[in-house]
Homo-oligomer: A and B are copies of this chain.
């Protein structure tokens, strides 16, 4: 959001006056509506309350707002502007739309991160900046002239990247594919979005893991889908549950993250995978395998993917570079039958006209020139160090507050809090103390779980972050 610019000569209060005047004149605060309290606005903008008092005073002086004892500061009903014109009431517009907003928890966390106050981030499921292959990418950019095209790229994705991915998938994950069956998307997120928008219809029943990252995504509700849950234990979901759900609700698709599941970190047991594929095949139900983490396997022996075991073509496979190289490249891929790829390509062309060639070209160079393997070795080593530090901290700092299972890959630890807690209040306390995490209820789990990322904080932040979290727990559970 907007913040005053402290590098210019214009006084802060004057900047705030102009800013609020613009918001009022643009209809965000229609005539008669109440402005945020001085204290609240001061808080939002990171200024002293007295500065906002001055700004509101200016607005009052020019007749744009008026104050009434006890009812705050209101936009003047009839005086402002030259004529009593109406601007659109934007509030009613932003409350419309078929696409639903993010959960309040997620928005809260994002806002805290945008403030850049130096809060310790155990919330983002992302690598820390020092783990991205920044030097390699910088030298790729400088040493190899970009000869790709600057016109609209094929909306299915830059073909050399798709061709490179065919070998990549074969070599690292034993997955067979052709470049025609690959769609390049803006991370896994866009693959999921396209599937929910284009292959499923409102009221369709789908099965998702419980707890699950999918649960945190209003995109399922936005598409009007009915969600049914497959409980996850330490060996993943139980395939027989699918039969029950199918009988009861005719589920049309299953969304799974079998390796280092988000958030629990669990790996689906092999015999369950085999049974799952049998069942899906017998019932003719597609499985969407969301697979961001397999290659992070800390011991260098990634568990098999469902797709590599899939003999009947029931699995739509989603991968990406986000968690294993750099999320900021926005490179993900969907592997699917060609009819599906064609349909989704057509839709995404309408939504965003495809991705820029440039990051696709970088990803292609990064993989085909052999940089990925070296990077991955370093990444695993560093992730293991961080995971161990996090575990050490949990043991030494947390006492018996939390239990967890040691994750063998992925970026997160899923912790059970051995006390009665309220997610939201705990997050509040934690933020006050300078640490962020994701409450378990975001993933549809019962109260009493939290997800903490060991990948995102810098190594040196891990122990301090845990101490702050411990303080928050102390307050909350006292």
A interface residues (Cβ-Cβ under 8 A, vs B): 1-2, 19, 22-23, 25-28, 81, 85-91, 93-94, 96-99, 101-102, 107, 110, 114, 124, 126-127, 129, 132-134, 137-138, 141-143, 145-154, 178-181, 185-187, 189-190, 193, 197-202, 204, 217-219, 223-224, 252, 281-286, 311-314, 326-330, 337-340, 342-343, 346-347, 349-359, 362
A88 to chain B minimum Cβ distance, whole angstroms, is 4
Q: Are B200 and A87 in contact, CB atoms less than 8 angstroms apart? A: no
Kindly list the 6 A-B residue pairs having the minimum CB-CB distance in the complex, ordered from nearest: A26-B313, A86-B284, A2-B180, A186-B352, A97-B198, A150-B326
Residues of chain B within 8 A of A114, CB atoms compared: 154
Q: Are A224 and B313 in contact, CB atoms less than 8 angstroms apart? A: no
Q: Are A338 and B1 in contact, CB atoms less than 8 angstroms apart? A: yes
Contacts A326-B151, A352-B190 known; A23 to B338 CB distance under 8 Å?
yes
Q: Are A285 and B88 in contact, CB atoms less than 8 angstroms apart? A: yes
Tell me the complex Cα distance, A286–B92, Å. 12
Q: Are B328 and A356 in contact, CB atoms less than 8 angstroms apart? A: yes
Q: Which residue of B lies closest to A111 (CB)?
A: B342
* Contact partner, A180, options B1, B90, B204, B337, Cβ 8 Å: B1
Tell me the complex Cα distance, A93–B342, Å. 12
Contacts A193-B350, A313-B25 known; A134 to B150 CB distance under 8 Å?
yes
Residues of chain B within 8 A of A311, CB atoms compared: 25
Contacts A126-B151, A358-B362 known; A337 to B101 CB distance under 8 Å?
no
Q: Are A190 and B107 in contact, CB atoms less than 8 angstroms apart? A: no
Q: Which residue of B lies closest to A25 (CB)?
A: B313
Contacts A338-B23, A351-B219 known; A282 to B154 CB distance under 8 Å?
no
Q: Are B87 and A281 in contact, CB atoms less than 8 angstroms apart? A: yes
* Contact partner, A146, options B93, B141, B152, B346, Cβ 8 Å: B141
Contacts A142-B141, A153-B328 known; A99 to B286 CB distance under 8 Å?
no
Contacts A2-B180, A94-B199, A180-B2 known; A138 to B127 CB distance under 8 Å?
no
* Contact partner, A343, options B94, B149, B180, B282, Cβ 8 Å: B94
Q: Which residue of B lies closest to A154 (CB)?
A: B114
Q: Are A102 and B151 in contact, CB atoms less than 8 angstroms apart? A: no
Residues of chain B within 8 A of A129, CB atoms compared: 149-151
* Contact partner, A151, options B101, B201, B327, B358, Cβ 8 Å: B327
Residues of chain B within 8 A of A141, CB atoms compared: 141-142, 145-146
